[in-house]
């Protein structure tokens, strides 16, 4: 998940209030502040910063973090995995292949048009909401459970180890890495 999150310590009460963070609480709360985007984050914008609309939500209190640090990791993974991931270059794509079956959609807005790209992003966002990815690393996970599927949208057609995709039209591929593939 490296590269998906940025962490800050926020001490300025004016900035905190602008983005909806409660500074009257004890320290240690974890908030997710992200762009209000109709494809991935349907939460209503709470602040406009440099022309972008942002929302924030408290993911865990400081007390919850201390009491259950493994739950913090799980919640961050679920938050990350439950939005379609976007890559713009082959190196990022290579790092994203976590061994999970992956629905890969290639669409470059500069080639296929912004309208097509937006339609694909909207459809992938809706699909991810209907099929949330819930990481389960426990030994008692049902071996017959449906496999988790990661959704990736790529604006790049050069995707190792898959190879070069034709640029003429958007494409969707289902990629399964590993011994069974």
* Residue whose token pair is 């009491």: 67
Query: Going residue by residue through the chain (181 aa), what tens digit of pLDDT does each one get?
Result: 333 455 677 777 887 888 888 888 887 888 888 777 666 666 788 887 777 788 888 888 889 888 988 888 778 777 766 666 677 777 666 666 656 677 888 888 899 998 998 888 888 888 877 877 766 656 676 777 766 777 888 888 887 667 788 888 888 888 776 544 4
Count CA within 13 A, CB hemisphere, residue 43: 17
Give the pLDDT confidence score for residue 67 in this predicted structure. 92
How far apart are alpha carbons 106 and 165 in whole angstroms? 8
Domain ranges of the chain: 13-80, 84-175
- Residue 139 is predicted with a pLDDT of 65
As given in the structure block, the two tokens for residue 16 are 């905190």
How high is the pLDDT of residue 147?
A: 67
**Residue linked to tokens 């099929």:** 131
The residues pairing with 30 across neighbouring beta strands, listed in sequence order, are 60
Single pTM value for the model: 0.56
Contacts of 136 (CB under 8 A, 6+ apart): 145, 148
pLDDT score at 79? 72
The C-alpha atoms of residue 174 and residue 101 are separated, in whole angstroms, by 7
In this predicted structure, what is the pLDDT of residue 10?
75
């Amino acid at each position: 998940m490296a590269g998906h999150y940025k962490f800050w310590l926020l001490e300025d009460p004016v900035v905190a209030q602008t983005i909806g963070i409660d500074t009257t609480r004890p320290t240690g709360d974890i908030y997710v502040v992200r762009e209000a985007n109709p494809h991935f984050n349907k939460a209503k914008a709470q602040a406009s910063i440099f022309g972008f609309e942002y929302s924030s939500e408290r993911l865990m209190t400081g007390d919850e973090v201390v009491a259950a640090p493994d739950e913090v990791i799980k919640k961050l993974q679920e938050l990350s995995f439950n939005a379609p991931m976007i890559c713009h270059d082959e190196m990022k794509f290579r790092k994203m292949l976590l061994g999970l079956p992956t629905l890969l959609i290639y669409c470059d807005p500069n080639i296929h048009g912004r309208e097509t790209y937006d339609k694909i992003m909207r459809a992938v966002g809706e699909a991810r909401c209907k099929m949330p990815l819930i990481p389960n690393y426990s030994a008692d996970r049902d071996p017959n459970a449906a496999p988790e599927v990661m959704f990736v949208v790529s604006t790049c057609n050069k995707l190792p180890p898959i190879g070069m995709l034709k640029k003429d039209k958007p494409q969707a591929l289902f990629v399964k890495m590993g011994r069974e593939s």
